[in-house]
Structure 1
Amino acid sequence: MAVIKTNSEDVKLLARLLRAEAEGEGAQGMLMVGNVGVNRILSNCLDFKNIRSMDDMVYQSPGGYESIQKPYFYQKARESEIALARRVISGERTWPATNALWFYRPTGDCPDRWWDQANSGRFKAHCFFVPTQTDCPRVYQY
């Protein structure tokens, strides 16, 4: 069962985002990017109030994804990434992105906090950051 409402175009959009943001980190890294995206749609808190759709999440400005500014993002979604997007939309969660709303690629170690959000862990080049359960309870409900 899907944890967010989507259609086939939403799935393809998420698939393109997964590839553009984390293709170099393999399927697991792309699943984590998807977790962050789904969490942003569900959360309705902090930087993500009124983000209710895939389009809202992917194209959020300011605060959205860098990759949407690059031509690679606009290439057709591949079946492998579409399958990953479906898994995330169906509720598959991957640590350390399970409850994360943010990630970034630092030049060195992950900081303990980033913009006052706690580090939940690192996967390859990306560090993931989570809100508190008090600030964003919906991120912790599914």
Structure 2
Amino acid sequence: MDNRELLARLIKCEAGGEGDNGMRGVATVVMNRVRVPSGEYHRIGQGDLRKVIYQEGQFDCVRSVLGGVANPQTIWANPPEQIHYDIADWALAGNKLFTIGASLWYFNPYGPCPYSFPYNGTGSFQVAIAKHCFYNPTALYFET
């Protein structure tokens, strides 16, 4: 699977029900991780989309098991549709959803967005789109 298809599959799996902006937000976060100049994602991902997506513990859709149970919703089980390829192409071309800013994280808290995420203080709330909350890195992130 090439990078375009890998990103399209991740977009569908992570945000397929979040509308165009939700999917663009997830794609922006992934590409922000690829392009971040320092910190954990730079050190581990080294600017490589595959390393970013397959970094252990980052995306539920890349885990075959969640909570000790087989994960039915993975990037392998859900082939992308044209909209997912279009958004992957958009992100791979260097485009970003402006409201996301430099966000490196997103998640669905199933309630109001907390001020910081991850809970170690490396991210601060940027914006909510559909059911996902997006978080920009704090100064602490760049020490990771």
TM-score using structure 2 length = 0.79
Query: Which of the numbers 27, 46, 58 marks the counterpart of 2:53?
Result: 58
Measured after TM superposition, the shift of residue 41 of structure 1 is 0.7
Unpaired runs of at least 5, structure 1:
1-7, 137-142
Report the counterpart of residue 132 of structure 1 in structure 2.
138
- Does 2:11 align with 1:12? no
CA contact (8 A) 1:96 1:122 kept: no
1:45-75 deviation digits (Å, cap 9, x = unpaired): 333123021210111013x101112444213
1:42-81 maps to which residues of 2 (within 5 A)? Answer: 42-48=35-41, 49-51=43-45, 52-62=47-57, 64-69=58-63, 70-72=71-73, 73-74=75-76, 75-81=78-84
CA distance in 2, matches of 1:109, 1:121: 11
For 1:35 and 1:82, the matched residues in 2 are separated by: 14
Paired amino acid for 2:40: D
Structure 2 runs not aligned, ≥5 long: 64-70
- Say what the alpha-carbon RMSD is for the aligned residues: 2.0
CA–CA separation in structure 2 for the residues paired with 1:119 and 1:19: 23
Cα distance in 2 for residues equivalent to 1:41 and 1:26: 23
What letter corresponds to residue 100 of structure 1 in structure 2?
Answer: S
How far apart, in 1, do the equivalents of 2:72 and 2:89 lie? Answer: 23
For residue 95 of structure 1, report the CA deviation from its aligned partner.
3.8
Q: Please point out which of 24, 27, 34 is paired with 1:31.
A: 24
Structure 1 residue 122 corresponds to structure 2 residue 128: yes
Given that 2:44 and 2:52 are in contact with CA atoms closer than 8 Å, whether structure 1 keeps it comes out as no
For 1:99 and 1:105, locate their aligned partners in 2 and report how far apart those are by CA, in whole Å: 18
Q: Does structure 2 retain, via aligned residues, the 8 Å contact 1:97–1:120?
A: yes
1:113 deviates by 1.3
Report how far residue 134 of structure 1 moved: 8.6
**SS in structure 1 opposite 2:128?**
strand
Contact 1:33–1:97 under 8 Å retained in 2: no
1-side partners of 2:16 and 2:110: how far apart?
A: 18
Distance in 1 of aligned mates of 2:29 and 2:14: 11
